[in-house]
């Protein structure tokens, strides 16, 4: 059986927000689901599965069951919907999920750009160097060989340097592309921890990964609290979303302090889970009973911080890689021009 295409992140966000608004307005589940039908029947993945959801709801199943049967929603969404239905806070969960997946889409787009841009530049450099080695350099070599009756070996030697330089850089670029692809496959497979540990040796990348992990954890924690979970249970489940060992270790310390009778805000501040400027927001929010509002604000700040760090990283590597491409082409062309200068001098 062919694997079903999943609903993308923006699609999940739109579905959750629309469902939340319709349920809030008092519309019944079966009617709410049917409203997702498009008149032109071009609603994409969701449109193709509306009938399955309608049938499931008509049979008396819950929203979570109907969503699960169509097989296009992430497991995390299904789990949160189930919790929201069991605690009577389905609307809150739907709105929180909508916001979470909208921010996730933005951040993942930036991560994808941070990975694709270097790969594209490396491939471009490989193509340019390959053309230099297979077409440009041989053409110039042929011309110079014809014209070098009186040209000294020292002048002609620059062509050999150009060949060596292009070959060395080409090999390095191919190795880097292979490493990027292998690293990506390892990250998607069983080698995620190894790749994270390797990337964490760079302070900038370690900071980005920590910010992303804190954002994922805090977003999940907010959804779980909105669904009616107790703080300690929400912490335990949300920790799985962090998916970054240094942050997970801090969360274990937070859980330990919460078992000793501390609230989440105090425990998080004691172990410095968040930067002080962020962490201090939690204590007054928890004491005043506005934890949900403070968490929502904190999540926005964490998302902006992670997004800003990713932008800075991309803006740093773009000129470096562009400069590398220009340097490779410039050195190769200079190596071709120097013998021509020697020829011109010998003629003159």
Domains: count for the chain = 2
Give the dihedral of Cα atoms 304, 306, 307, 309; nearest 10 deg: 120
Q: Is 111 exposed, middle or buried (0-12, 13-18, 19+ CB in 10 A)?
A: middle
Q: Are residues 92 and 153 in the same domain?
A: no
Structural domain boundaries, residue 60: 9-102
Instruction: Please list, in sequence order, all residues whose beta carbon lies within 8 angstroms of the beta carbon of residue 14, skipping any fewer than 6 positions away.
Output: 98
Residue at a domain's end among 84, 102, 120? 102
Scan for tokens 């990964």, then name that residue. 209
Q: Are residues 27 and 139 in the same domain?
A: no
Q: Are residues 139 and 257 in the same domain?
A: yes
Pairwise CA distance, residues 141 & 132, whole Å:
12
Supply 15's token pair.
């579905």
Pairwise CA distance, residues 102 & 9, whole Å:
7
Q: Are residues 55 and 161 in the same domain?
A: no
Q: Look up the CATH number of the domain holding residue 221.
A: 1.20.81.30
The helix-helix angle for 291-347 and 137-147 (nearest 10°) equals 10
Residue at a domain's end among 61, 80, 102? 102
Q: What is the pLDDT of residue 252?
A: 92
Supply 299's token pair.
């999540």
**Does some domain include residue 112?**
yes
Q: What angle do CA 40, 49, 219 make, to 5 degrees?
A: 110
Q: Are residues 284 and 153 in the same domain?
A: yes
Q: Are residues 124 and 238 in the same domain?
A: yes
Q: Are residues 49 and 181 in the same domain?
A: no
Supply 235's token pair.
């912490």
Q: What is the pLDDT of residue 251?
A: 92
Pairwise CA distance, residues 90 & 87, whole Å:
8
Pairwise CA distance, residues 196 & 282, whole Å:
29
pTM: 0.74
Q: What is the pLDDT of residue 113?
A: 77
Q: Is 316 exposed, middle or buried (0-12, 13-18, 19+ CB in 10 A)?
A: exposed
Buried b (16+ CB within 10 A) or exposed e, 142-165: eebeeebeebeeebbebbeebbeb
Per-residue pLDDT of the chain (348 residues; tens, 9 = 90+): 445 678 888 888 988 999 899 988 888 888 888 888 765 556 578 777 888 888 888 888 898 998 998 888 888 888 888 888 888 888 888 888 888 888 888 888 878 877 787 888 888 888 888 888 888 777 777 766 666 554 445 556 667 777 788 888 888 888 888 888 888 888 777 788 888 888 888 888 888 888 888 988 888 888 888 777 788 888 888 888 888 889 999 999 999 998 888 888 888 888 888 888 777 788 887 777 777 788 888 888 888 888 888 888 878 877 887 787 788 777 777 776 766 666 566 555
Residue at a domain's end among 102, 117, 150? 102
Pairwise CA distance, residues 174 & 123, whole Å:
8
Q: What is the pLDDT of residue 167?
A: 84
Supply 312's token pair.
């800075």
C-alpha closest to that of 225 among 16, 83, 61, 67 = 83
Quote the distance between the C-alpha of residue 71 and its chain's center. 23
Supply 241's token pair.
């979303």
Q: Are residues 34 and 180 in the same domain?
A: no
Contact by Cβ (8 Å): 66, 57: yes
Q: What is the pLDDT of residue 151?
A: 44
């Amino acid at each position: 059986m062919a694997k079903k295409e999943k609903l993308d992140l923006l699609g999940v966000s739109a579905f959750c927000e629309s469902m939340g608004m319709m349920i809030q307005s008092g519309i019944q589940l079966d009617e709410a689901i049917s409203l997702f039908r498009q008149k032109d029947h071009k609603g994409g993945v969701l449109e193709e599965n509306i009938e399955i959801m309608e049938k499931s709801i008509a049979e008396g199943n819950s929203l979570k069951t109907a969503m699960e049967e169509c097989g296009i929603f992430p497991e995390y969404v299904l789990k949160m919907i189930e919790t929201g239905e069991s605690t009577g806070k389905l609307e809150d969960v739907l709105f929180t999920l909508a916001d979470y997946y909208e921010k996730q889409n933005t951040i993942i787009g930036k991560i994808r750009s941070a990975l694709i841009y270097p790969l594209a530049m490396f491939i471009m450099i490989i193509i340019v160097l390959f053309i230099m080695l297979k077409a440009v350099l041989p053409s110039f070599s042929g011309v110079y060989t014809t014209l070098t009756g009186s040209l000294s070996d020292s002048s002609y030697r620059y062509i050999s340097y150009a060949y060596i330089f292009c070959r060395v850089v080409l090999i390095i670029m191919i190795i880097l592309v292979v490493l990027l692809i292998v690293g990506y496959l390892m990250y998607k497979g069983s080698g995620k921890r190894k790749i994270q540990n390797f990337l964490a040796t760079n302070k900038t990348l370690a900071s980005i990964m920590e910010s992303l992990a804190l954002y994922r954890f805090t977003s999940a924690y907010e959804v779980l609290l909105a669904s009616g979970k107790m703080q300690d249970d929400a912490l335990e489940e949300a920790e799985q979303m962090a998916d970054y060992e240094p942050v997970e270790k801090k969360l274990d310390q937070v859980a330990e302090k919460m078992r000793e009778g501390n609230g989440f805000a105090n425990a998080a501040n004691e172990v410095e889970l968040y930067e002080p400027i962020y962490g201090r927001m939690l204590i007054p929010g928890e004491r005043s009973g506005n934890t949900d509002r403070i968490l929502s604000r904190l999540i926005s700040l964490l998302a902006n911080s992670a997004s800003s760090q990713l932008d800075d990283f991309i803006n740093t590597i773009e000129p470096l890689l562009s400069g590398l491409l220009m340097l490779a082409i410039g050195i190769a062309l200079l190596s071709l021009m120097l013998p021509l200068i020697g020829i011109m001098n010998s003629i003159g």
